[in-house]
């Protein structure tokens, strides 16, 4: 077990290093000259003298690997540099300012995800092949195919313009987060409903369900206490990765609903060619993915005895 | 049963609660406008802030009125020495910054001095360069000669200075107490200007709130409060306007022709469009073998149907352009013969130049007439125009290849002169014509590279210098006439349309108009109903 954890930690660290190198070099590979970009995003006419001055200011006169080493060392201290678009702001400060919005949006999306997919998944398994189940299956099909930005406009049109019951943009109340959260998690709701439904159906055929019925336990109790509990394991694993996916999926949705979270920060950085912010965003998202994968692997190992044995052999 | 009643009650509460939230309309004394990004850094001496915000807080010595004429602002009057090198400003004596600091010649000088200190950053402005030239001789370029008198000296005469003072940056005045250290170069600690508004709140990336300055020295603005919401998405902005969340969407880049058309006849909304502000054009590179002959360049002008581009691609939002500048631009009211759409004339010119029709393509000495048009791939409209021209020119035997590329790569290509034809947009009023023409002398833009094949390039550059130095209005006009006439006859530029600024607003907003600069929003003149 310990060996396994040590091995996974080393792999995770190596992956993190690769992620950091990629996020640094990807941005440096773009055809633009960052010094010129830094001037242009502030509408300064890039005269040769101004470019040279900015090059020195940004440390661009140093070799690539030296710049990478300096950047990595600073990242380790959570210093991601200064934003090109507003030299009064640090990238770390920008990330810290925008992250709570994204966290709030992701949390609302997750709560709605659980509140919707759990009962619908269970009901559709219990009433298999009923009109309700067929309807749900159709919605699942549609939900997995609709692009989220299109769905977002559809929801705005319906709830904000036609019925006028939910606001179309902003963040001043919890209600402002409902439409963006729904646009963000519809794909995942569809996935989890299907996952829960299939898993429930499989479990309902298991012997323990038969014994429970034979013992005279009520159908309600069998479904909610026994079958559901056993059906959730696969969904929880999927949810782990889903959280990071939802987090990174905010890029488009935050722009449409004018939520100043990290997704929008990322889009703004792309448009403004704000390389330091972009590098930090890619790096942090990479770190999230690596850490989530790492935690899930460890959790799996702790929960599933078979994995533990395999790890011991390894 | 009790459970069911509770659920019904809960659902009803939610629906009515949310209904109240969804039906938000803006307050009566507040104008809510949309912008696509945050205010960022409003330091008036740097370029990283939203111009509309800087324009509300900071004022300059000179104000450019709606027609672009310089009128007194923080300077009551000014005079220019006969040699055009010395400007003397008589400043207002009744103005204070919003932190209570008195505005006078001393504080004005501190503002100019900090700009000169950061001269490299403002190197694009000829006036700064000419002030620095005085400083380099060991003399002060900006001097106080009384509590309210300021003198500015240039190494050479430079007539557009007064117009440059009128544009939003970098010559607007901020209280020197806001400087970080003794300069604004490294940022400012506060935003105290002399303007008619004060920035009350700025929640980064969400909204900013401006309130009228109660102690304003001039005529107080009609709107007491302005909220600028940040809505980055084009569609979302229009939906917010439609649902009553905002009152105003302003600006060329925020309103597509389609969006404008959508609101043009919509009940409860108004639309307005400015006079021509800048020119959308193509630059033809005179150093390229296919384009080195002026007859070929003129033929391409005759092959271009601007009316169709204006009507079908721009949906009537931009008017056809036949000269480099629209006639309402200063010094550009010159009679030049337009190259109206005429494929027959084009065919004659191409034949004369030796490019004869051979099947479906023109050839000269066995070489096909092939031209590459490059554009910034982010600009969808340019791609549409390119595709239209590709098909039209193709019918006359001119084969065009279209290459869209990333913005920076495109700019580098222009700068390096590595192009046949490319899109370009003039700087717009009030920078046109002086700044746009002035930049033709510098190897920073495509213009410089494209003109290198002209025999008269040296004379054109000299005429540009002479025009900018010229104190005599008549002589100045002569220089401009020479430059514009030569460029027109040599057909270096293929003007397509004149861009016009635009705004969409709810019925609540009145007197929506335009300033000479497309980047400014004249909120001070607007009213609410």
Selecting from B123, B204, B408 the residue whose C-beta is nearest the C-beta of A37 gives: B408
Measured between CA atoms, the residue of chain B closest to residue A42 is: B48
User: What pLDDT shows up at residue A89?
Assistant: 84
Assess whether pLDDT exceeds 50 at residue B66: yes
Residues A233 and A227: their CA atoms lie apart, in Å, by: 11
Looking at residue A46, what is its pLDDT?
73
Residues 6+ apart with CB under 8 A from B190: B99, B175, B177, B178
The model carries a pTM of 0.85
Closest CA of chain A from B230, distance in Å: 7
- B66: helix, coil or strand? coil
Q: Which of A85, A88, A164 sits opposite B23 (nearest CB)?
A: A164
A239 CA to chain B: closest CA distance, Å?
Answer: 28
Retrieve residue B113's tokens: 């001095």
Rounded to an integer, the average pLDDT of B73-90 is: 97
* Interface predicted TM-score (ipTM) of this complex, two decimals: 0.78
Show the tokens assigned to B158.
């430079």
Average pLDDT over residues B361-370: 96
Looking at residue B495, what DSSP letter applies?
Answer: E
How do beta strands B399-405 and B370-376 pair?
A: parallel
Contact B236 A87 (CB under 8 A): no
Of the residues A164, A251, A270, the best mutation for testing chain B's interface (the one with the most B CB atoms within 10 Å of its CB) is A164
Interface probe with A: pick from B124, B232, B243, B409, most Cβ of A within 10 Å:
B232
Q: Is there a contact between A42 and B239 if contact means CB atoms under 8 Å apart?
A: no
Q: Which of A45, A102, A153, A274 to mutate to test the interface with B (most CBs of B within 10 A)?
A: A45
Q: Which of B16, B32, B40 to mutate to test the interface with A (most CBs of A within 10 A)?
A: B40
What is the model's pLDDT at position B405? 87
Are B412 and A31 an interchain contact pair (Cβ–Cβ within 8 Å)? yes
Range with the lowest mean pLDDT among A308-312, B184-188, B315-319, B328-332?
A308-312
The answer to whether B230 contacts A37, with C-beta atoms less than 8 Å apart, is no
- Would the pLDDT of B378 be above 90? no
Distance CA A295, CA A237 (A): 11
Give B202-233 as a DSSP string: EETTTEEEEEE-TT-SSPPPS-SEEEEEE---
Q: What is the mean pLDDT of residues B42-49?
A: 90
Q: What is the pLDDT of residue A267?
A: 87
Residue B236: which of A49, A258, A265 has the nearest Cβ?
A: A258
Q: Hey, what are B99's tokens?
A: 């932190």
Q: How close is the nearest chain B Cα to the Cα of A154, in Å?
A: 11
Residue B245 contacts A, CB cutoff 8 Å: yes
User: CA-nearest residue of chain A to B25?
Assistant: A167
Task: Using the structure block, give the residue that is written with the tokens 């996952």.
Answer: A195
**A161 and B205 in contact by Cβ < 8 A?**
no
A166 CB neighbours in chain B (<8 A) are 18, 21-22
Looking at per-residue pLDDT, the higher value among A89 and B524 belongs to: B524
For A54, name the nearest residue in chain B, comparing CA atoms only.
B121
- Chain A residues within an 8 Å CB radius of B121: 44, 50, 53
Helix (H, G, I), strand (E, B) or coil at B308: helix
SS3 B334: coil
Are the Cβ atoms of B239 and A157 closer than 8 angstroms?
yes
Residues of chain A in contact with residue B235, where contact means CB-CB under 8 angstroms, are 153, 256
Contact across the interface for A44 and B231, Cβ inside 8 Å: no
Contacts of A86 in chain B (CB under 8 A): 40-41, 48
pLDDT tens, position by position, for chain A (314 residues)? Answer: 678 888 888 999 999 999 999 988 877 777 667 787 777 766 666 777 888 888 887 777 888 899 899 999 999 898 998 887 777 789 999 999 999 999 999 999 999 999 999 999 999 999 999 999 999 999 989 888 899 999 999 999 999 989 989 998 889 899 999 999 999 999 999 989 999 999 999 989 989 889 998 998 888 889 888 888 888 877 777 877 788 888 888 888 999 999 999 999 998 888 777 888 999 999 998 888 888 888 877 877 776 666 666 655 55
| CA dihedral (B100, B106, B109, B110) positive or negative | negative
Q: Does B242 touch chain A (CB under 8 A)?
A: yes
In this structure, how many other beta carbons lie within 10 angstroms of the beta carbon of residue B194? 27
- What is chain B's mean pLDDT, rounded? 92
Is there a contact between B528 and B227 (Cβ–Cβ < 8 Å)? no
Which residue in A42, A87, A168 is closest to B243 by CB distance?
Answer: A168
User: How confident is residue B309, by pLDDT bands cut at 50, 70 and 90?
Assistant: very high
Three-point CA angle B446, B451, B457, nearest 5°? 140
Three-state secondary-structure class, residue A304: coil
pLDDT of residue A310: 61
Contact B46, B120 (CB under 8 A): no
Structure tokens belonging to residue B257: 């022709």
Where do we find the tokens 């809505």? B231
A-B Cβ pairs (cutoff 8 Å, strict): 127
Contacting residues of B for A42, CB less than 8 Å apart: 46-48
| B10 in reach of chain A (CB within 8 A) | no
């Amino acid at each position: 077990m310990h060996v396994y954890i040590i091995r996974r930690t080393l792999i995770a660290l190596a992956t993190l290093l690769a992620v950091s190198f990629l996020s640094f070099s990807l941005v440096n590979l773009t055809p633009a000259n960052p010094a010129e970009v830094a001037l242009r995003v502030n509408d300064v006419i890039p005269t040769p003298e101004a470019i040279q001055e900015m090059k020195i200011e940004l440390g661009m006169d140093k070799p690539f690997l030296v710049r990478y080493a300096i950047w990595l060392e600073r990242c380790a201290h959570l210093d991601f540099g200064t934003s090109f678009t507003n030299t009064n702001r640090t990238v770390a400060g920008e990330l810290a300012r925008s992250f709570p919005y994204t966290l709030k949006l992701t949390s609302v999306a997750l709560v709605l995800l659980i509140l919707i997919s759990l009962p619908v998944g269970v009901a559709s398994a219990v009433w298999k092949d009923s009109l309700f189940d067929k309807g749900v299956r159709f919605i699942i099909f549609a939900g997995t195919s609709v692009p989220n930005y299109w769905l977002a406009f559809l929801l705005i049109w319906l709830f904000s313009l036609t019925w006028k019951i939910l606001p179309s943009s902003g963040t001043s109340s919890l209600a402002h987060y409902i439409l963006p959260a729904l646009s963000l998690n519809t794909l995942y709701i569809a996935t989890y409903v299907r996952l829960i439904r299939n898993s429930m159906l499989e479990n309902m055929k298991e012997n323990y369900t038969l014994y429970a019925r034979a013992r005279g336990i009520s159908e309600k109790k069998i479904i909610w206490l026994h079958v559901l509990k056993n059906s959730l394991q696969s969904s929880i694993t999927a949810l782990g990765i889903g959280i990071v996916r939802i987090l990174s999926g905010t890029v488009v949705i935050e722009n449409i609903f004018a939520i100043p979270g990290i997704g929008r920060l990322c889009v703004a950085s792309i448009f403004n060619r704000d390389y330091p912010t972009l590098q930090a965003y890619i790096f942090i998202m990479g770190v999230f993915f690596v850490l989530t994968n790492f935690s899930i692997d460890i959790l799996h190992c702790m929960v599933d005895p078979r994995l533990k044995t395999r790890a011991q052999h390894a | 049963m009790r459970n069911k009643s509770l659920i019904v009650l809960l659902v009803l509460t939610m629906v009515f609660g949310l209904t109240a939230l969804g039906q938000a309309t803006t307050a009566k004394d507040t104008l809510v406008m949309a912008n696509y990004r945050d205010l960022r850094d409003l330091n008036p001496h740097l370029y990283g802030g939203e111009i509309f915000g800087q324009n509300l807080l900071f004022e300059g010595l000179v104000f450019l009125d709606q027609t672009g004429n310089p009128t007194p602002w923080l300077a009551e009057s000014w005079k220019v020495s006969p040699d055009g090198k010395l400007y003397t400003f008589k400043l207002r004596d009744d103005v204070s910054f919003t932190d209570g600091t008195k505005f006078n010649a001393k504080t004005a000088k501190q503002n100019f001095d900090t700009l000169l200190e950061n001269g490299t950053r403002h190197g694009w402005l000829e006036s700064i360069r000419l002030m620095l030239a005085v400083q380099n001789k060991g003399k002060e370029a900006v001097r106080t000669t009384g509590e309210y008198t300021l003198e500015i000296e240039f190494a050479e005469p430079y007539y557009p200075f007064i117009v440059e003072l009128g544009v939003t940056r970098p010559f607007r005045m901020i209280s020197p107490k806001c400087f970080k250290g003794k300069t604004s170069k490294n940022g400012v600690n506060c935003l105290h200007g002399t303007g008619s508004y004060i920035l009350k709140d700025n929640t980064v990336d969400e909204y900013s709130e401006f309130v009228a300055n109660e102690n304003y020295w001039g005529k107080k603005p009609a709107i007491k409060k302005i909220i600028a919401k940040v809505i980055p998405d084009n569609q979302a902005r229009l939906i917010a306007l439609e649902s009553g969340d905002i009152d105003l969407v302003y600006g060329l880049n925020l309103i597509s022709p389609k969006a404008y058309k959508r609101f043009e006849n919509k009940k409860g909304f108004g639309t307005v469009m400015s006079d021509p502000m800048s020119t959308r054009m193509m630059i033809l590179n005179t150093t390229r073998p296919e384009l080195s002959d002026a007859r070929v360049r003129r033929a391409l002008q005759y092959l271009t149907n601007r009316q169709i581009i204006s009507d079908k691609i721009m949906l009537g939002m931009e008017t056809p352009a036949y000269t480099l500048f629209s006639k309402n631009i200063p010094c550009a009211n010159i009679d030049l013969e337009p190259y109206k759409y005429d494929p027959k004339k084009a065919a004659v010119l191409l034949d004369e130049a030796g490019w004869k029709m051979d099947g479906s393509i023109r050839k000269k000495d066995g070489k096909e007439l092939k031209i590459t048009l490059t554009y910034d791939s982010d600009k969808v409209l340019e791609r549409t125009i390119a595709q239209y021209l590709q098909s039209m020119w193709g019918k006359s035997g001119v084969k065009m290849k279209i290459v869209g590329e990333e913005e920076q790569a495109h700019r580098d290509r222009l700068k390096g002169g590595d192009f046949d034809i490319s899109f370009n947009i003039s700087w717009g009023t009030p920078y046109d014509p002086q700044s746009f023409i002035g930049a033709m002398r510098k190897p920073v833009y495509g213009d410089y590279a494209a003109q290198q094949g002209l025999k008269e390039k040296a004379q054109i550059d000299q005429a540009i210098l002479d025009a900018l130095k010229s104190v005599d209005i008549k002589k100045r006009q002569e220089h401009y006439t020479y430059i514009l006439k030569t460029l027109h006859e040599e057909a270096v530029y293929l003007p397509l349309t004149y861009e016009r600024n635009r705004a969409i607003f709810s019925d609540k907003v009145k007197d929506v108009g335009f300033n000479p600069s497309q980047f400014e929003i004249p909120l001070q003149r607007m009213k609410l109903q």
